Amino acid sequence: MEAKKRNIKKEIQEKLDDEVLRGALTRFAREYPLAREKALANVEDVEALRESLRDIKRDTVAHIEEVADTFEAEAVKRGVKVFRAANGAELRNYILNLCRERGVKRVVKSKSMASEEVDLNPDLKEAGIRVKETDLGEWIIAIPGHKPSHMVLPAIHLNRYQVADYFSKELDKDIPPEIPLMVQTARVNLREEFLQADMGITGANIGIAENGAICLVTNEGNGRLVASLPPIHVVIIGYEKLIPTIKDAVPILRLLPRGATGQLMTSYMSMIAGPTPVMVKTDGAWVEKQKEIHYILLDNGRLDAAHDDRLKEIYQCVRCASCLNVCPIYTLVGGHVYGGHTYAGGIGAILTAFLSGMGEFEQFNELCIGCRRCTTVCPGKIDIPGLIEELRQRSVKEHGLPFVMDKIFSVMTKRRLFHSLLRAASVAQKPFTSEGLVRHLPLFLAGMTKDRSLPSIAKVPLRDRVDDVIKKIEKPVKRVGFFSGCTMDFVFPETGENVIKVIQDLNMEVVYPDGQGCCGKPVSATGDVEHTKKLAMNNIRAFEDLHVDVIICACPTGVEQIRDYPHLFEDDPEWKVRAKSMADKMEEFCSFVAREYERAGRLKKADKKADAIKVTYHDSCHLKRVLGIYEEPRKLIESVESYELVEMKDADKCCGMSGAFGVQHSNLSIPILKQKMDNIENTGAGVVACACSGCMVQLQGGIDQQTPGKKMKHVADILAENIRD
Amino acid sequence: MKRTCDNWRDKLPAGTFDSHLYEEFELRAKNISAEVFRVKRADEAREIILDIVKKTGARSVAVVPCPLIKASGILDALKDNGVAVHTEQADIAEHIPIVDIGMSGVEFGIAECGSVCQNAVAIESRLVSSLPPLHIAFMKSRNIVPGIEDAVGIMSEFFTEGYISWITGPSRTADIERVLAIGVHGPSRVVIFAVDDEEVA
């Protein structure tokens, strides 16, 4: 499917300027993590529960056809009619035919995202059928014809005044903007719809194969009414909702409400297996008869996903939206910029790729900043950022890169040319920035932006300084290769010098091969595997004959990227071995030094000097959530007597940089940085520490513009201050 | 009346009443705005219900009778007070849209989340618990399972077909500005009587 070309930058700006939306999302982002944590307080082992949900879904998708066959057979045995819809058109036709055959004039719906995915309502309306959404949020957004901006809270982008306007319009009378009154108004108005409907349509949160049952997890009570009052009940359920047994529902029922709304259980959980009685008035008398139930099992791309080695992970999604609720980008701009589709946010981007085509995906996949915060809350433990990167790779493989990026990346793989450009940039920063191409180059060529200055290229890069810093060590205990990465090399060479000093202070010998270059992350993040491979081969060659015991990098992205090199060469056994040899030696600076300090008895909390400087530590997303390193940097700081560590709020929330993202989407990056700077300011610390050069670029920029009195330091800078030359 | 399972009590874990479990159930249920009354004998519920009727001005009640409700003697008491009582299926179906209070039994409670589990295969049991603004539920105070896992475990033993509802406090929404509002499409009040009396079957 070809997607309509959108001006996504403009759409983002509109959302950023929408004060109602910004206010609602800011409050939500603040309150949600607390509500979730409180709801999980009486779960003894949250991790184990998440793992069990993941494992159940994983096992299910491995034989999804078998599970679906059982589900269908058991449902049919109990009197349910089951239809498998390959796509939206088949689903819509089935329901339209059913309406025609049974003379259905009025339909009530409780929430079914799958029905929105396939655009059911317009067809029903065109056929002259009265269709009413009964979920309050869905009912509200149906009035102006909006798409849901959140999977659980579809009308979160509206405030009470806007809602009151829509109510007034729909009911043709003046409705004041009082929430309880509006809720009661909706109750009264929709009551008639329930009682008079000929057909009820619901989704399903779970489908159970062993007894052909479905589960509905709802709060308002509309689900129960839609499933109980009309004589015909149609259930629209995607294959990903199926599980083999009743007991498999346990982790879903325990995690879904807690993650979605911070509830221990929603107001109603209904498990329905087969037709149940319904009351029908015939010739003025009420009689009981059996309800007619139809299950529509919707494919629409799901079965292809099930057989895709990476993307079958989407079956682990239970649509709780907790990933959106912690996403720094979603909580800035809301769901509509993700293409105005049914499913928003990072997970929405992935689902949309399957359900609406890659064309749609390509337009907004870059709205994932890769901070991985979502992976810490997802009940199904889905690697959302990883899947987005995978899809980007496929998209690049199929359609290639935009011309400009292709040119730039090809320059980057020619190390000497690239580095001479960087050197030239240190002299002529301004002219470079004015060229249209340059904003796609690594961020430090982008020059100044509002509310954040981007650092300039150092006059003398680290590679030209190392000879003055590297000392001959007598009887070194280890020979250490130092991979600096471009940012430390060309923007923070002093920090690079300090890394060398700290390592040498451990009586280790440092080697800095001049042949090293870009780790490849900015390139691989766009999905360009071929150029990434070239960059990797360059670094592997530079380090492989040095006979080092270990390779150190003081930037988590570099560590992660180099450890991932072997995966680039799955089809090339020779290079795979060479890549693995480098990857196996890769160590992150803080964790390496902390271990060595520990061994030497130096890692204890120092007695603080009276005039110790307050320092607050920012967790880099990738250092904490990919490498799992967050205690070591803190312990290292605590080991220095002239610094006192004070924690900031949300220390592990993204600073908004994330490689090229911060430059490409500066309008998103800056508000995220602002939150970070406020949290830093509130600690009263004079120094901000971190252990990632990408974050340093961002935080230094924020300090320059917003709190010029503060200093930005890498943990290596702090440690080196205590070392006598 | 159709039931999913006729011998629920056999499925509940044996052993003596665990008062901690009950207390946790009561706390969690109250946390989500259910009103919970623990009574020794079913008839102690009578005065409390009559008081609710008086305060709310309720004029009609739809009831799916269960042994505890019968033992409470509430139906006669309501009639004596001039309240219309509907207990027959067709009668319930006719009046349920305008009835003030629905009343039914529930099978067991779940301590982890303060939910009650209702065998809802009979249409009238769903009608009385979902349409009126107030739902009164009777249960045995000893019939509490510790967690969701236990509740699902019981269901997995017998639930082959039918309709089960877990009810957790009143109907609610946060769809406008994430402000909690009670009583959207279902009851705005849920009153639970947990009866100690072991004599009633």
Q: How far is CA A332 from CA A68, A321, A367, A672, B151, in A?
A: 39, 15, 11, 8, 40
The C-alpha atoms of residue A321 and residue A343 are separated, in whole angstroms, by 9
What kind and span of H or E run contains A289? strand A285-290
What residues does B61 pair with on adjacent strands? B85, B101
- Res A430: pLDDT: 45
Structure tokens at A709: 């009195």
Q: How far is CA B119 from CA A638, B105, B124, B139, B169, in A?
A: 59, 9, 11, 12, 17
Name the closest residue on chain A to residue B170, using Cα atoms: A267
Question: Residue B5: is its pLDDT beyond 60?
Answer: no
Q: Which of A252-256, A527-531, A684-688, B187-191 has the lowest mean pLDDT?
A: A527-531
Is residue B4 in a domain? no
Q: Select from A179, A225, A247 the Cβ nearest to the Cβ of B185.
A: A225
Q: CATH number for the domain including A205?
A: 3.40.50.10420
User: Residue A228 and residue B130: Cβ atoms within 8 Å?
Assistant: yes
Q: Confirm if A591 and A715 have CB atoms less than 8 A apart.
A: no
Q: Considering only CB atoms, which chain A residues are within 8 Å of B183?
A: 183-184, 187
Name the closest residue on chain A to residue B28, using Cα atoms: A264
User: Residue B89 and residue A78: Cβ atoms within 8 Å?
Assistant: no
pLDDT band at residue A442 under the 50/70/90 scheme: very low
Is residue B46 in a domain? yes
Most confidently predicted of A30-44, A434-448, A655-669: A30-44
Q: Are strands A277-282 and A613-617 parallel, antiparallel or unpaired?
A: unpaired
Question: Residue A529: is its pLDDT beyond 80?
Answer: yes
Q: How far is CA B42 from CA A343, B36, B45, in A?
A: 49, 14, 6
Residue with more model confidence, A192 or A725:
A192
B2 touches chain A (CB under 8 A): yes
B169 touches chain A (CB under 8 A): yes
- Res A438: pLDDT: 32
pLDDT band at residue A451 under the 50/70/90 scheme: low
Is residue B66 in a domain? yes
pLDDT band at residue A454 under the 50/70/90 scheme: low
- Res A623: pLDDT: 96
B187 touches chain A (CB under 8 A): yes
The parent domain of residue A550 ranges over 462-721
Q: How far is CA B60 from CA A298, A393, A709, B86, B158, in A?
A: 44, 65, 72, 8, 35
Q: Considering only CB atoms, which chain B residues are within 8 Å of A181?
A: none
Is residue B133 in a domain? yes
Q: Considering only CB atoms, which chain A residues are within 8 Å of B106?
A: none
pLDDT digits (tens, 9 = 90+) for A392-426: 888 888 777 766 667 667 777 777 777 776 676 66
pLDDT digits (tens, 9 = 90+) for A51-63: 999 999 999 999 9
The C-alpha atoms of residue A37 and residue A33 are separated, in whole angstroms, by 6
Cβ pairs bridging A and B (under 8 Å): 180
The C-alpha atoms of residue A616 and residue A458 are separated, in whole angstroms, by 26
Q: Select from A153, A195, A250 the Cβ nearest to the Cβ of B97.
A: A195
Q: Confirm if A706 and A50 have CB atoms less than 8 A apart.
A: no
* Collapsed DSSP state (helix, strand, coil) of residue B180: coil
Provide CB contacts within 8 A for A421, sequence distance 6+: A411
Mean per-residue pLDDT, A103-123:
94
Query: Residue A51: what residue type?
Result: E
> How far is B18 from chain A, CA to nearest CA, in Å?
18
The parent domain of residue B132 ranges over 17-195
Mean per-residue pLDDT, A115-124:
93
pLDDT band at residue A367 under the 50/70/90 scheme: confident
Name the closest residue on chain B to residue A289, using Cα atoms: B123
- Res A338: pLDDT: 79
- Res A75: pLDDT: 98
User: Residue B176 and residue A155: Cβ atoms within 8 Å?
Assistant: yes
Mean per-residue pLDDT, B101-119:
96
Looking at the 3D structure of chain A, how many domains does it have? 2
Q: 3-state SS of A507-562?
A: CCEEECCCCCCCCCHHHHCCCCHHHHHHHHHHHHHHHHCCCCCEEEECCHHHHHHH
Torsions phi, psi of B63, nearest 5?
-130, 135
Name the closest residue on chain B to residue A273, using Cα atoms: B161
Q: Considering only CB atoms, which chain A residues are within 8 Å of B97?
A: 191, 195
Question: Residue A615: is its pLDDT beyond 50?
Answer: yes
Number of Cβ within a 10 Å radius of residue A9: 13
Is residue A339 in a domain? no
Q: Confirm if A118 and A91 have CB atoms less than 8 A apart.
A: yes
Is residue A29 in a domain? no
User: Residue A211 and residue B159: Cβ atoms within 8 Å?
Assistant: yes
Is residue B59 in a domain? yes
Is residue A642 in a domain? yes
The C-alpha atoms of residue A645 and residue A614 are separated, in whole angstroms, by 6
Q: Confirm if A191 and A213 have CB atoms less than 8 A apart.
A: no
Q: CATH number for the domain including B100?
A: 3.40.50.10420
pLDDT digits (tens, 9 = 90+) for A695-707: 998 898 888 888 8
> How far is A67 from chain B, CA to nearest CA, in Å?
17
Q: Confirm if A471 and A480 have CB atoms less than 8 A apart.
A: no
Q: At what angle do helices A529-544 and A384-399 cross, to 10 degrees?
A: 110
Torsions phi, psi of A109, nearest 5?
-120, 135
pLDDT band at residue B123 under the 50/70/90 scheme: very high
pLDDT band at residue A391 under the 50/70/90 scheme: confident
B148 touches chain A (CB under 8 A): yes
Q: How far is CA A338 from CA A147, A366, A632, in A?
A: 11, 10, 37
Boundary residue ending a domain (A259, A283, A298): A298
Question: Residue A168: is its pLDDT beyond 60?
Answer: yes
Is residue B99 in a domain? yes
The C-alpha atoms of residue A277 and residue A233 are separated, in whole angstroms, by 12
Question: Residue A455: is its pLDDT beyond 90?
Answer: no
User: Residue B164 and residue A191: Cβ atoms within 8 Å?
Assistant: no
The C-alpha atoms of residue A368 and residue A371 are separated, in whole angstroms, by 8
Provide CB contacts within 8 A for A574, sequence distance 6+: none
User: Residue A219 and residue B148: Cβ atoms within 8 Å?
Assistant: no
* Collapsed DSSP state (helix, strand, coil) of residue A645: strand
Query: How many alpha carbons lie under 13 Å from residue A18 in its C-beta half-sphere?
Result: 24
B195 touches chain A (CB under 8 A): no
Q: Confirm if A664 and A439 have CB atoms less than 8 A apart.
A: yes
pLDDT digits (tens, 9 = 90+) for A184-217: 999 999 999 999 999 999 999 999 999 999 999 9
User: Residue A273 and residue B123: Cβ atoms within 8 Å?
Assistant: no
Name the closest residue on chain B to residue A163, using Cα atoms: B176
Q: Confirm if B141 and B54 have CB atoms less than 8 A apart.
A: no
User: Residue A271 and residue B163: Cβ atoms within 8 Å?
Assistant: yes
Q: Considering only CB atoms, which chain B residues are within 8 Å of A249?
A: 152
> How far is A26 from chain B, CA to nearest CA, in Å?
12
The C-alpha atoms of residue A527 and residue A521 are separated, in whole angstroms, by 10
Q: Select from B93, B159, B174 the Cβ nearest to the Cβ of A246.
A: B159
Q: Confirm if B132 and B46 have CB atoms less than 8 A apart.
A: no
Predicted ipTM of the assembly: 0.95
Interface test with B, best of A111, A265, A280, A324 (most B CBs within 10 A): A265
B112 touches chain A (CB under 8 A): yes
* Collapsed DSSP state (helix, strand, coil) of residue B163: strand
Mean per-residue pLDDT, A23-52:
95
Provide CB contacts within 8 A for A362, sequence distance 6+: A3, A395, A399
What kind and span of H or E run contains A577? helix A573-585
Is residue A589 in a domain? yes
Question: Residue A336: is its pLDDT beyond 90?
Answer: no
Q: Confirm if A238 and A205 have CB atoms less than 8 A apart.
A: no
Looking at the 3D structure of chain B, how many domains does it have? 1
Q: Considering only CB atoms, which chain A residues are within 8 Å of B156?
A: 245-247
User: Is the Cα torsion angle A31, A37, A40, A41 positive or negative in sign?
Assistant: negative
Mean per-residue pLDDT, A286-310:
95
Interface test with B, best of A139, A183, A225, A272 (most B CBs within 10 A): A183
- Res A1: pLDDT: 39
User: Residue A140 and residue B175: Cβ atoms within 8 Å?
Assistant: yes
User: Residue B121 and residue A276: Cβ atoms within 8 Å?
Assistant: yes
Q: Select from B163, B167, B173 the Cβ nearest to the Cβ of A276.
A: B163
Interface test with B, best of A159, A267, A291, A293 (most B CBs within 10 A): A267
Most confidently predicted of A144-153, A301-310, A585-594, A653-662: A585-594
Mean per-residue pLDDT, A666-676:
88
Is residue A411 in a domain? no
- Nearest alpha-carbon partner for A8 in A363, A489, A341, A327: A363
Torsions phi, psi of B138, nearest 5?
-105, 135
Is residue B9 in a domain? no
Provide CB contacts within 8 A for A61, sequence distance 6+: A240, A306, A312, A315
User: Residue A270 and residue B163: Cβ atoms within 8 Å?
Assistant: yes
> How far is B199 from chain A, CA to nearest CA, in Å?
31
Residue with more model confidence, A422 or A131:
A131
Q: Confirm if A565 and A582 have CB atoms less than 8 A apart.
A: yes
pLDDT digits (tens, 9 = 90+) for A216-225: 999 999 999 9
Number of Cβ within a 10 Å radius of residue A399: 12
Q: Which residue has the tokens 């099978």?
A: B107
| Average model confidence (pLDDT) across chain A | 90
Q: Select from A266, A274, A288 the Cβ nearest to the Cβ of B89.
A: A288
pLDDT digits (tens, 9 = 90+) for B28-79: 999 999 999 999 999 999 999 999 999 999 999 999 999 999 999 999 999 9
Mean per-residue pLDDT, A584-612:
95
Q: Confirm if A692 and A622 have CB atoms less than 8 A apart.
A: yes
Q: Confirm if B62 and B101 have CB atoms less than 8 A apart.
A: yes
B199 touches chain A (CB under 8 A): no
- Res B7: pLDDT: 56
- Res A205: pLDDT: 97
Q: Select from A247, A281, A285 the Cβ nearest to the Cβ of B152.
A: A247
User: Residue B176 and residue A160: Cβ atoms within 8 Å?
Assistant: yes
Interface test with A, best of B92, B117, B126, B161 (most A CBs within 10 A): B161
Predicted model pTM: 0.89
- Nearest alpha-carbon partner for A262 in B172, B184, B140: B172
**Lateral strand order in the sheet of A199-202:** A81-85, A292-298, A232-238, A199-202, A106-109, A130-133
Q: Which of A129-143, A336-350, A545-559, A638-652 has the lowest mean pLDDT?
A: A336-350
| CA end-to-end span of chain A | 64
Structure tokens at A89: 């058109």
pLDDT band at residue A434 under the 50/70/90 scheme: very low
Q: Select from B156, B173, B179 the Cβ nearest to the Cβ of A219.
A: B173
Is residue A448 in a domain? no
> How far is B166 from chain A, CA to nearest CA, in Å?
5
Q: Considering only CB atoms, which chain B residues are within 8 Å of A187?
A: 183-185
Q: Could you give the angle at the alpha carbon of A352 between the alpha carbons of A348 and A357, nearest 5°?
A: 160
Mean per-residue pLDDT, A641-670:
86
Q: Confirm if B58 and B100 have CB atoms less than 8 A apart.
A: yes
Per cent of chain A over pLDDT 90 is 72
B52 touches chain A (CB under 8 A): no
Q: Considering only CB atoms, which chain A residues are within 8 Å of B178?
A: 24, 27-28, 153, 156
B180 touches chain A (CB under 8 A): no
- Res A55: pLDDT: 98
Q: How far is CA A439 from CA A436, A444, A664, B65, in A?
A: 7, 9, 7, 73
Q: At what angle do helices A46-62 and A64-77 cross, to 10 degrees?
A: 90
Q: Could you give the angle at the alpha carbon of A185 between the alpha carbons of A182 and A189, nearest 5°?
A: 140
pLDDT digits (tens, 9 = 90+) for B70-91: 999 999 999 999 999 999 999 9
**Lateral strand order in the sheet of B134-140:** B35-39, B189-195, B134-140, B101-105, B60-63, B84-86
**B:124-143 residues touching chain A, CB 8 A cutoff:** 126-127, 130-131
The C-alpha atoms of residue A147 and residue A356 are separated, in whole angstroms, by 15
